[in-house]
Amino acid sequence: MKPTLTLYNTLTRRKEEFETIHPGRVGMYVCGPTVYGDPHLGHTRPAITFDLLFRYLKAEGYKVRYVRNITDVGHLEHDADEGEDKIAKKARLEQLEPMEVAHYYTERYHKYMDMMGVLSPSIEPHASGHIMEQIDFVQKILDAGFAYESNGSVYFDVEKYNAAHHYGCLSGRNLDDIVTDTRALDGQSDKQHSFDFALWKKASPEHIMRWKSPWSDGFPGWHMECSAMSTKYLGEKFDIHGGGMDLMFPHHECEIAQSTAALGHDSARYWVHNNMITINGKKMGKSYNNFITLEQMFNGEHDALEQAYSPMTVRFFILQAHYRSTLDFSNDALKAAEKGLDRLMKGIEALGKAKPAATTSFNAAELAERCEAAMADDLNSPMVISALFDFVRIFNGLADGSQTATAEDLEALKATVNRWVFDILGLKDEKAAAAGGKDMVTPLVEMLLNMRLEAKAAKNWTLSDQIRDQLTAIGIRVKDRKDGFDWEIE
């Protein structure tokens, strides 16, 4: 019998049996990146955690609509709704249009997520493309009496909301804690209370990204886009809302308050949060000099890195920890992950080459059972990997003859490995893929180099040099030897 999927719901602080609102269908919304900088390690954990959930739900037969947004407007520097817009600031510094900045970093995000085997979501809405929906949502909150207009901006009335509902239900705070935590206002603000947050901001004269609204020429507050876009694409009530733990407060807390104020109820049934990545035990950040972009991660060019790590090494490393545990990046841990992944792929290769026998010397069904049970228990990917490693020993035994398996069991094991390693964990055999590429190149290069030997024998130096130079130009280094040639890809 299939185990029942349980998910830890941050809102109720317990594991709950997963039941969908509509039979067989899942609506999932995950907060995506603010596109004003190069994709870095901090982007990898939420992307991979929710990719794992997306892949798993699909493999379980659900029809999943996965919405992951792109924040290209409204994310301000201080406390998310004070100060300069992050994208507008980058645009000013680089003398670009804000939309050029957003487009460039969105493309970079896609490129690096693709390298890491992160599937594209079903819908990827941009905040700037949904201004009308956000204005309508703000109006609903105003109509319900939970917001006020002040000098062209609209703010959420946290105190009034808190009297009717609980502001802080997700992060487990109450308004008194929040009052003490909130920094004092610099007299510039139009807010009634420091803990109120912006639903709409009036644009200052130098602010480039601005739209017309009933209140002012301005732009939406950061939290507003997720409420408006999740409702538009998933409805007023949907199954899963995800994101990093750092978004729990204030972002997700504000989303819950906005939905409850406008619709009368919270939108999401399960709130799922991944824990954070630290580097050598420290929080990652530009000021710590441990802020590593994915480009640096994959080429090794950063002081904190002893070598380059491949995209699949980083993915495997992330999957080796449970998504709710903190994960510490260190060179030692990454090197261990690199070795582990290599061992897993070699074991799978051994399984592929195994010859069928009359009997099976082990319990072949156990691998699938252990993987299913682990994943159903709040996405326990480290337990899935541990089951796979136990079977790698058996697969290696099939190669040296210390274990045997029938043809039927071998086929079933290959199917189990495909489902778990490639479809659900989303891993790829990078070495085999690289070798596969070279297999096409090898006969072509050798054909050309044999033609060059013939040209040399015929003293046709022009053609001989031409072949060598053109190969060099595309990155193939040719070394002449007495008995022929050697070549390598640079």
Residues making contact with Zn ion (CB under 5 A)? 31, 226
Give the shortest CB-448-to-Zn ion separation in angstroms: 54
Give the shortest CB-135-to-Zn ion separation in angstroms: 18
Q: Which is nearer to Zn ion, 267 or 464 (CB)?
A: 267
Give the shortest CB-134-to-Zn ion separation in angstroms: 12
Q: Which is nearer to Zn ion, 51 or 225 (CB)?
A: 225
Give the shortest CB-253-to-Zn ion separation in angstroms: 11
Q: Which is nearer to Zn ion, 226 or 345 (CB)?
A: 226
Polymer length in residues for the chain: 490
CA distance 37 to 88: 12
Give the shortest CB-31-to-Zn ion separation in angstroms: 3
Name the nearest CA neighbour of 333 among 323, 349, 321, 322: 321
Evaluate whether 96 touches 55 at the Cβ level (below 8 Å). no
The gap from C-alpha 26 to its chain's centroid, in whole angstroms, comes to 19
CA distance 300 to 279: 15
Q: Which is nearer to Zn ion, 226 or 376 (CB)?
A: 226
Give the shortest CB-274-to-Zn ion separation in angstroms: 14
CA distance 225 to 308: 37
Evaluate whether 380 touches 52 at the Cβ level (below 8 Å). no
Residue 73 to residues 136, 184, 211, 363, 378, Cα–Cα distance (Å):
17, 25, 11, 55, 34
Q: Which is nearer to Zn ion, 49 or 216 (CB)?
A: 49
Name the nearest CA neighbour of 422 among 354, 309, 363, 341: 341
Q: Which is nearer to Zn ion, 247 or 371 (CB)?
A: 247
Give the shortest CB-114-to-Zn ion separation in angstroms: 22
Evaluate whether 147 touches 138 at the Cβ level (below 8 Å). yes
CA distance 51 to 29: 12
Q: Which is nearer to Zn ion, 29 or 317 (CB)?
A: 29
